[in-house]
Structure 1
Amino acid sequence: MALDLKKFITRFVEEARDHIRQLGEGVASLESGDAGVVHAMFRSAHTIKGSARMLKLDPITETAHRVEDFFASLREGRVRFQAESGECLRQALDALSAQVDILAETPDGARLAPSDPGLLATLIRLAAEESPSVAPESVPAQTNPEPVVSTGVPERSDSPAPPGSDVRSTPLPPPPSPVVTPDRAPSKPEGPREEPRLKNVETVRVRLEKLDELIKLMGELLSSHARMRQRLVEIATLDRQLATSGLDGSVTVPLHLFAGRLREDVLDQESLMTELHDKTLMMRMLPLAVIFEPAQRLARDLARSVGKQAMCQTRGAEIELDRRIIDKLSDPLIHVIRNAIDHGLETPDIRLAAGKPAQGRLTLSARQESGQVVIEIQDDGAGISLERIRAKALRMGLVNEERVAALTERETLDLIFLPGFSTTTFVTDLSGRGVGMDVVRQTVLEELRGAIEIDTVAEVGTTLRLRVPFSLAMMRVLLVEVNGAHYGFTARHVGAIRRLSRSAVFSLGDRDMVILGNEFVPLLRLSELLDAPGAVSSGSTPRTHAEEPFGMLVVVLAIRDEKLALEVDDLVDEHDMVIHPMPELLRMAPLVSGLVVTGENALVSVLHAPGLLERARRLRGGHVATIPERREPGHDRVLVVDDSLNTREIEKDMLEACGFRVTLAEDGLDGLRHALAEEFDAVLTDVEMPGMDGFSLTERLRREDRYRDKPIIILTSRDREEDKQRGMRAGADAYIVKGDFSQGNLVDTLRTLLGWRGHGG
C-alpha cells in the first residue's frame, strides 16, 4: 500500500518551528561570543533538512541544507562567525519560517515558493569563506508546465501563446521604446514604406493529453470498424445462400450488386481510417535522443559519485518511437545504467592494472530490425561473473546444487532478472537492492510487449539488449482457433505458418520435434501449453480422421535464435488491430499481453510469445529458477533509531503498513539500550544524532554475536561518497539517502536483506 506522507506535514510543521526557534536563539548566542551552541544548531538544521527531504519539500530542503553546510564549516573551524554571517542566517531563518507558515496553511505544499537563489548563494559563499561579493541577483523561477508537442519549427519566444496553451513564467523584457524630445524628432526612413504583413503560423501547440485522447479515439474507431468487416462476411454468406436458393434474379442480383458496392466502400473507408490513424500516431513520435541525452549526463554523474570515470556515447538517437514507449523506457534505462556503472565498470586503478584506459566506456545504441527497435546498453567493464550468480542462487535457495551445475550460460544470466536478486554485498541508493533488473524485465516484457537478452564476456564487458515495438497503439495480429477458443499472436513473433504431416513429428529425448529449415524445433499443442480444456499431446493420435489428409497446422514462434512450433486447429484472421491493455488485476498474467476486439464484439487474448517460450521450457524440464516461499514479514522486528520524532513516525507507519513490527529509539544511545535488551531482526538508523551517531551504533552492534549478521540499514541525508564508504566500513548492509527515499525503496531493501538471511519479507 502507498503511504500518504501529507498526513505527517502537521507534525513536521510543529517540529520545524521548534528547531527554527532554537536556531534563532543560537544565532543570538553566537553573536554574543558563545560558540558552544554550534553542534546543537547543526543538528537542528540537519533535522529540518532530513525531514523535509523525506516529505519532498524541496524549497525547505534547499534552504535548510545551506544553513547546515554553514554550521558544518563553522564547527570544523573552516570559517569564522562574522556580522555578515549573523545577518544572512537571520534571513535564512525568516525564509524557513515563512515557508513553514505557508505549509501549515496548505499541507500539500503547492504554494511553497522556490528558495531565494541570492540567499542560497550567499550561504554557500559564507560556508566556503569566499571573499565578500555581491550576491547573485534573484532569478524568477520557472514553473514546470505540462509537456506539449510542437508540430513544426519552434515558436518565437516573444509571440503570444495560443489560447489553451501553456505559458511559461519566465518574464520577457519589454523592447526599449524610442525616446522622443521636442527638439529632436525621429527621422523618417527614405524610400517607399513597406506594407505590414501578418506572418504565417507554421506550428500549433497541442497538449499531449489531448493528442492521447485523439489517438485513443482513432483506435476505438478502428476497433469498431472490425464489425463492419464482419457484416461483409455475413452479407457475402447471405448472397451465396440466395444464389443457390432458386429465387428469382430480380431479388438475388440487386443483393449481389449491393454486397459488392458495400465491400468496396468498407475497404476504402478502412484504408482511409488506417492512414489517418498512422498520421495521427506520427504526431506522437519522439526521437530516442530525448532519453539518450539525459542518460549521458546521468552516466557521467553516477560514475563521478562512486569514484569512477565514464564516457557515454550514443548511436541511433534519431530513431523515433511512440512517446508512450519512450516514457516507459526511461526507468529501465536508468536501472541498466546504474548497474553498468556500479557493477560493470571498474575503478581507474583496477582498469589501469588490467591494461585498460582509466576511463570506462558506456555505449547506448539503437537500430531498426524486423519491425522493432533494438536498444543496446554496452559497457567495457569486467563482465558478469557466472560463478557469483550461481553461488548467490544457491545461497538464496533458487536452485539446488544438482540443478545449478546444469544451468546454461543463458539460464544463469536470466537469474539476474529475478526479484530480489543481486550479487553486490553493500546496498546503496545507486544499486544493489535487488529491485532493479526485475523492473527492467517486467517493463520490457509485460508493458512494452518486447524482449530482453544479455551477453557478457569476462574482462571485456556486458551488453543488455532491449527489443521493443515502434508503437503499442496498433499491431498486426494473427488470430487462431484451438478447441473452439480464439487466441492472438502479434505478427512480429510469428516466424512461419506450416502444414505438416504427423509423420514429420519425431521424439528427441522427452520432446516432440519437427524439422523446419534444417533446424530442430520443439513442437507443442497450444492447448497443452495453455492448460486449455481438451488438451492433447502433439504427437498423439489425430483428433479426427478428416484432419489427417491435410496434416496439422503449425504456427512457429521465433524470438532471437529460439523457436517453438505450436499446433493449432485453424487460422481465423490476420490484420492490424488495436491491442487493449489487460485489466489491472490481470496484468501479472505471464502468458497474455493484451486483448483485442473481434468483429463479433468478442474479446480475444493476445498471447505473450516470450512467456510461451518460457512456459515451454518449464514443461520440457528446462532449468528455470523460481523465488522460494518466504514467511510473512509480520514475524520480523525492526528497530528504528532517529532523533527526529517526525522521521521516526514516518518510518514506523511505513513499515507497520507492510507487516513489520517496529520499536522506536530517539537517539544512538537509546537505540543501543533497546538492541541489547531485546532482539531485533533488523536495525534502521540515522547518522547525525546526539550521544552516539549511526556509524558508532553500527560498529558497536557488529561486535555483538546476535547482530553480527543481522541487517543494519543507514537512512540519512548525508549523501557524500566518503560517508557511504564509512557506513560500509562500519558494517552497514545498506546506505539510503533521504533525498532518494521512498516507501518502495526502503521496504524492498529491507525485505531483500532479510531474504538473503533466510527471513521473511
Structure 2
Amino acid sequence: MALDHSKFIARFVDEAREHCSRLSEGLLNLEGSSGDTELINGLFRSAHTIKGSAKMIKLAGIAELAHKMEDILDAVRSGKILLTTAASNSLFRGVDALLAMLDRIAAGESSPEAPAALCAELAKAAASEDTPAPEQPPSASASPVPDLVAAPAPSLEGVTPPAPALAPSAEAAQELEKPAASQMAPPSSAAPVENSKPAPSPAKPRQIDYLRINAVKLDDLIRLMGEIVSEQGRFRRHVAHLRELEHATALYLAGIAELLGKDAQVNSEHKAVIEAGAALHLSLRQSVRALHDESLMQDHLITDLQETSLNLRMQPLSTVFDPLRRTVRDLSQEHGKEIDFIVDGGETELDRKIIERIGDSLMHMIRNSIDHGLENAKERAVSGKPLKGTIRLSAYYDSGCVTIALSDDGKGLAADRIREKALSKGLFDADTLARMSHSEICNLIFMPGFSTSPIITDLSGRGVGMDVVKRSIVDELKGSIHTETREGSGTTFLLRLPLNLAVFTLFLTTVSDKTCALPATSIVEILTVQQHDIIEIVNKRAIRLREQIIPVEKLAAILKLPQDGVQGKNEAVIVIIRNGEEKLGLIVDEILGREEMVVKPLPQHLQNLRMVSGVTIGEMNSIINVLHIPELFITAHEITAPANRVAQAKDKLSRTVLVADDSLNTREIEKSILEAYGYVVETAEDGQDAFEKTRDIMYDLVITDVEMPRMDGFSLTERLRDDDRYRNIPIVIVTSLEKESDKKRGITVGANAYIVKGAFDQSNLLETVRTLIG
C-alpha cells in the first residue's frame, strides 16, 4: 500500500520552520562565539533533520538545499573551513530560501525546486580552502556523521509504516549521530576500558507530552471563557440585588407583624399570616445565602478557568524578539553601521494575539532607530561616542501589564525640527505649536504622514510607520506609547500593553447619571478629597498628592455632559489616570466597582468616536462605553489651555526661564504658570540635563527641584555659581524639602529663593520671579 505523504505535509512544514528558526538564531549566536562546538553541532542537526524529513515525504528541492547547508556546517565542525562572514551570509540566504519554499508548500505547491544558483554558492562555500581552520585534535563531537545517517532514505512505496511519524525525533536523530566511542575515537594512553568503572546513569527527566491544537479552536475556547467571566460578574450583581430584596422583605414583614400584633383581637388568622411571613422570609434568606455561597465557589472555579485558559495562549516575547536580531544584522550590513543589538526579557509572556500584532510595530521602530536615530561611525566619532551603536530591546511586567522598551544611543529627537516640520506641513499653526510641551511636540511623530527625514529611503522618510505603530498599540491593542528622548543622547519608546485581549479589568463609574468604564491598567489610584483641596493654577485645577502637583478635570466636562448633578458637594471623587509618565485626575460622581469584562470593538459606523475605545455589557443588557485614555488627556489639554496665553506673551518682554524637575507634571504646571504671564520657558528633566542646556543657552532665571537623578538641585546651583556667566543669574529652588537645614544649604550654595512645594502657590512663584527678573 502506497503511503499518502499529504497527511504529513502540514506537520513537516511546522517542524521545518522551527528548525529554520533555530538555524537563524544559532548563526547569529555563532557570530559572537565562532568556536562553540556544541552550537555548530546543533545547527548541523537542524539542517540534517530537515534534509531527512524532506526526503521521507519526497520533497527533493528542500532536501537538496538542506543537504548543501549541512555540507558547510559539517566542514566547519570537522575543522576543514572557518565560518567566515561570506559563508554565514550564504547560510542565512539558505534559511530564507527554505522558508520561502515552505510557504509555497503550505500554499499548495507540491515540490518546489531549490534555487540552483544558491545551491552552487553553498557548495562552493563548503569546498572553499581559502581560509583553512587550525588543526584541532579529533573529538567525538567533531566526528563526521556515519554513512548510515547520511544515506538517502529508502523508497516507501508499497511499505506500510509502523506509525504515522514524519521523521525521527530530535532526540533520536541526536542519538543516531553519536558515533560509538570504541569505533570512532583514536587510541588513548588512558587505562583500558574494561578496567574503568561504568559511570552511573543519570536520572531520566520526566517526559512532557505535547499536543498540537488548531489555533482557531483555542481562540474559540478563550472567547467562551471571556463570556463566562462576564456572565459571572452579572450573576454576582444579581445575587447582591437579591440580598437587598431579602433585607427589604425582612423590614416589610417586621412592619406587618408589628401592625397585626397591635390588634387586641389577635385571632388565629393573623397569627397564621405572621407565621407564614416568617417562614417565607426564612426560606428566602436561606435561598439567597445558598446563592451567595454558590457565587463564591463559582468565583474560585471561574478564576482558575480564566487563568488556565489564558495561559494556553500565552507565549514568550522571544518569539517576536529573536527574529528581529536577523533584521538588525541585515540592515546594519546594508547601511554600513555597526550595531550592538541587545535583547532582554524575552521570557516575558504575552497573549499570542498581541504578540502577532506587535511584530510590525517593533520592525517600524527599529528601522527608524537605524535610519533616524543611530549616527554613522564618522558622526559618532565626532560626538565622542563608541563607533558601534547600541539598540536595546527589553520587556518586563508592570502593574498587571507588560512594558516593552526600545532604546538607542543615537542623536535623539530634535524638538525644533519636529516643530518646524509640523508648521511647514500645515498640521498646526505657529501659536498652537508654541503652546505645546516638549512631550506633545515629540508625539507629533505618530501623526499620519509625518516624517523629519530630509530624504526618502528604503528604510524611512515616507511618513508611514509610526502612525501605524500608534494605531496598532493604542487603538487596537488598548495600550499606550511614551517617548523619552534627549537630543544627542538617544531615544526610548515605552510600549505598555495588556496581558491579554480576552478579558479586561475595568472600573465602572458614574458621570452625570451615566455609567462608563475606565481600564484598570491606566489607573494609578482612586481617592476622595475635599473641594477646598482642589487649587486653581492659571485657569487649571490641580491637587497636591505626595508633593506632586497633578492637574484635575471634571470627566463630565471632558465628555461634554451636563454637570448639574455634581454641584454643591463638599467632597470630590478623583480617579488618577496615567498616559506614559503624564498623570491626570478625573473628577467623577461615584465608583461603582471593579469588574472583569469582555470589551467589544465599536461597529464600523462608530469608529470615529475618539473618546470610546470599545463597549461592554452591563446590568439589564445596558451598553457601557469604555473610555479611551489617550483621548481624555488630549481633550483635557484642549479645554484647560488658557485662551489668552499667547496674547499675553506678545504684550510682555520675553524673559527666558529654565525649569528643572524630574516630575513631568511639576514641570508642565510651572511652565504653564510662567508662560501665561509672558515668560519663555524651557524644561529639563534633571540637574544634568539642565546643566548641559546652560552650556549653550543663556537663561535669565533658573528654577530647580532638589531631589533629582544624576545631579540634584543643590549640586546644579553650585556648578552654575562656579560659572562666570551664571554667577549673578537668579536661581529659585522649588522643592518638597522643608527642614531649616535644607533651606540654609540652599542659601549657602547660592540660591536666590527657596519655595516649598507643600506651600506652593502660583502667586508666590510669580511674585518671586517678578521680583528677581521683572
Distance in 2 (alpha carbons) for counterparts of 1:437 and 1:374: 18
Paired position in structure 2 for 1:613: 633
Distance in 2 (alpha carbons) for counterparts of 1:588 and 1:301: 40
Paired position in structure 1 for 2:493: 464
- Residue 448 of structure 2 contacts residue 467 of structure 2 at CA under 8 Å; is this kept in 1? yes
Distance in 1 (alpha carbons) for counterparts of 2:398 and 2:557: 32
Matches within 5 A, 1:3-18: none
Matches within 5 A, 1:8-87: none
- Residue 227 of structure 1 contacts residue 601 of structure 1 at CA under 8 Å; is this kept in 2? no
In the TM superposition, what is the alpha-carbon distance from 1:365 to its structure 2 partner? 1.0
In the TM superposition, what is the alpha-carbon distance from 1:214 to its structure 2 partner? 0.7
Residues 296 and 456 of structure 1: CA distance in aligned 2, closer, same or farther (over 3 Å): same
1:508 aligns with 2:528: no
Residues 363 and 583 of structure 1: CA distance in aligned 2, closer, same or farther (over 3 Å): same
SS of the aligned residue for 1:419 comes to coil
- Residue 314 of structure 2 contacts residue 350 of structure 2 at CA under 8 Å; is this kept in 1? yes
Paired position in structure 1 for 2:278: 249
Distance in 2 (alpha carbons) for counterparts of 1:504 and 1:122: 78
Q: Could you report, residue by residue, the CA deviation over 1:181-214 in whole angstroms, capped at 9, with x for unpaired residues?
A: xxxxxxxxxxxxxxxxxx9762222122211111
1:391 aligns with 2:389: no
Distance in 1 (alpha carbons) for counterparts of 2:504 and 2:466: 27
Paired position in structure 1 for 2:594: 574
Which structure 1 residue ranges, 5 or more long, are not aligned? 1-58, 60-98, 132-136, 141-157, 177-198, 537-541, 624-761
Distance in 1 (alpha carbons) for counterparts of 2:337 and 2:208: 49
Match for 1:331 among 355, 360, 368? 360
In the TM superposition, what is the alpha-carbon distance from 1:225 to its structure 2 partner? 2.1
Distance in 1 (alpha carbons) for counterparts of 2:290 and 2:370: 63
Residues 260 and 161 of structure 1: CA distance in aligned 2, closer, same or farther (over 3 Å): farther
Paired position in structure 1 for 2:747: none
In the TM superposition, what is the alpha-carbon distance from 1:363 to its structure 2 partner? 0.7
Distance in 2 (alpha carbons) for counterparts of 1:243 and 1:551: 34
- Residue 499 of structure 1 contacts residue 550 of structure 1 at CA under 8 Å; is this kept in 2? no
- Residue 228 of structure 1 contacts residue 599 of structure 1 at CA under 8 Å; is this kept in 2? no
1:552 aligns with 2:559: no
Paired position in structure 1 for 2:508: 479
In the TM superposition, what is the alpha-carbon distance from 1:423 to its structure 2 partner? 0.9
1:407 aligns with 2:436: yes
In the TM superposition, what is the alpha-carbon distance from 1:278 to its structure 2 partner? 0.8
In the TM superposition, what is the alpha-carbon distance from 1:389 to its structure 2 partner? 1.2
Match for 2:583 among 552, 560, 563? 563
Distance in 2 (alpha carbons) for counterparts of 1:486 and 1:521: 25
Residues 201 and 551 of structure 1: CA distance in aligned 2, closer, same or farther (over 3 Å): closer
Give 2:225's aligned amino acid. Answer: M
1:271 aligns with 2:300: yes
1:227 aligns with 2:234: yes
In the TM superposition, what is the alpha-carbon distance from 1:320 to its structure 2 partner? 0.8
Residues 110 and 433 of structure 1: CA distance in aligned 2, closer, same or farther (over 3 Å): farther
Distance in 2 (alpha carbons) for counterparts of 1:437 and 1:350: 25
- Residue 449 of structure 2 contacts residue 464 of structure 2 at CA under 8 Å; is this kept in 1? yes
In the TM superposition, what is the alpha-carbon distance from 1:244 to its structure 2 partner? 1.5
Distance in 1 (alpha carbons) for counterparts of 2:569 and 2:536: 22
Distance in 2 (alpha carbons) for counterparts of 1:523 and 1:566: 6
Distance in 1 (alpha carbons) for counterparts of 2:376 and 2:406: 19
1:366 aligns with 2:364: no
In the TM superposition, what is the alpha-carbon distance from 1:403 to its structure 2 partner? 3.6
Paired position in structure 2 for 1:121: 119
Give 1:219's aligned amino acid. Answer: G
Distance in 1 (alpha carbons) for counterparts of 2:640 and 2:596: 33
Give 1:485's aligned amino acid. Answer: K
> RMSD of aligned C-alpha atoms?
3.7
TM, length-normalised to structure 1? 0.56
Give 1:605's aligned amino acid. Answer: N
In the TM superposition, what is the alpha-carbon distance from 1:612 to its structure 2 partner? 0.7
In the TM superposition, what is the alpha-carbon distance from 1:276 to its structure 2 partner? 0.8
Matches within 5 A, 1:682-693: none
Paired position in structure 2 for 1:70: none
- Residue 479 of structure 1 contacts residue 574 of structure 1 at CA under 8 Å; is this kept in 2? yes
Give 1:372's aligned amino acid. Answer: C
Give 2:114's aligned amino acid. Answer: D
1:208 aligns with 2:229: no
Give 1:293's aligned amino acid. Answer: D
SS of the aligned residue for 1:571 comes to strand
Paired position in structure 2 for 1:498: 527
Matches within 5 A, 1:104-143: 110-111=108-109, 113-118=111-116, 121-122=119-120
1:316 aligns with 2:336: no
Q: Could you report, residue by residue, the CA deviation over 1:189-247 in whole angstroms, capped at 9, with x for unpaired residues?
A: xxxxxxxxxx9762222122211111111111112223322321332132122212225
Residues 109 and 320 of structure 1: CA distance in aligned 2, closer, same or farther (over 3 Å): closer
SS of the aligned residue for 1:428 comes to coil
SS of the aligned residue for 2:471 comes to helix
SS of the aligned residue for 1:205 comes to coil
Give 1:314's aligned amino acid. Answer: V
Distance in 2 (alpha carbons) for counterparts of 1:266 and 1:237: 16
SS of the aligned residue for 1:606 comes to strand
SS of the aligned residue for 2:449 comes to coil
1:525 aligns with 2:554: yes
1:602 aligns with 2:622: yes
Residues 125 and 242 of structure 1: CA distance in aligned 2, closer, same or farther (over 3 Å): closer
Paired position in structure 1 for 2:372: 343
Give 2:231's aligned amino acid. Answer: S
Distance in 2 (alpha carbons) for counterparts of 1:266 and 1:138: 65
In the TM superposition, what is the alpha-carbon distance from 1:557 to its structure 2 partner? 1.7
Residues 597 and 358 of structure 1: CA distance in aligned 2, closer, same or farther (over 3 Å): same
Distance in 2 (alpha carbons) for counterparts of 1:238 and 1:363: 59
Q: Could you report, residue by residue, the CA deviation over 1:413-457 in whole angstroms, capped at 9, with x for unpaired residues?
A: 111111101011222332111111111111111112111111222
Percent of pairs identical after alignment?
A: 33
Which structure has the bigger radius of gyration?
A: 2
SS of the aligned residue for 1:266 comes to helix
In the TM superposition, what is the alpha-carbon distance from 1:492 to its structure 2 partner? 2.4
Distance in 1 (alpha carbons) for counterparts of 2:122 and 2:406: 38
Paired position in structure 2 for 1:79: none
TM, length-normalised to structure 2? 0.55
Give 2:209's aligned amino acid. Answer: E
1:291 aligns with 2:284: no
Paired position in structure 1 for 2:750: none
Distance in 1 (alpha carbons) for counterparts of 2:595 and 2:532: 32
SS of the aligned residue for 1:427 comes to coil
SS of the aligned residue for 1:280 comes to helix
- Residue 233 of structure 2 contacts residue 596 of structure 2 at CA under 8 Å; is this kept in 1? no
Matches within 5 A, 1:140-155: none
In the TM superposition, what is the alpha-carbon distance from 1:370 to its structure 2 partner? 1.9
Paired position in structure 2 for 1:583: 603
Residues 433 and 112 of structure 1: CA distance in aligned 2, closer, same or farther (over 3 Å): farther
Residues 260 and 345 of structure 1: CA distance in aligned 2, closer, same or farther (over 3 Å): same
Distance in 2 (alpha carbons) for counterparts of 1:321 and 1:213: 18
Q: Could you report, residue by residue, the CA deviation over 1:22-42 in whole angstroms, capped at 9, with x for unpaired residues?
A: xxxxxxxxxxxxxxxxxxxxx
- Residue 321 of structure 2 contacts residue 346 of structure 2 at CA under 8 Å; is this kept in 1? yes
1:375 aligns with 2:404: yes
Distance in 1 (alpha carbons) for counterparts of 2:355 and 2:585: 33
Farther-moved stretch of structure 1 (335-344 vs 303-312) = 303-312
Q: Could you report, residue by residue, the CA deviation over 1:472-520 in whole angstroms, capped at 9, with x for unpaired residues?
A: 2222211011222110011222223233333333322122333333333
In the TM superposition, what is the alpha-carbon distance from 1:265 to its structure 2 partner? 0.3
- Residue 226 of structure 1 contacts residue 598 of structure 1 at CA under 8 Å; is this kept in 2? no
SS of the aligned residue for 2:621 comes to coil
Give 1:610's aligned amino acid. Answer: P
Q: Could you report, residue by residue, the CA deviation over 1:570-590 in whole angstroms, capped at 9, with x for unpaired residues?
A: 222212222223334434533
Distance in 2 (alpha carbons) for counterparts of 1:219 and 1:516: 37
Residues 367 and 616 of structure 1: CA distance in aligned 2, closer, same or farther (over 3 Å): same
Paired position in structure 2 for 1:80: none
In the TM superposition, what is the alpha-carbon distance from 1:304 to its structure 2 partner? 1.4
Residues 113 and 367 of structure 1: CA distance in aligned 2, closer, same or farther (over 3 Å): same
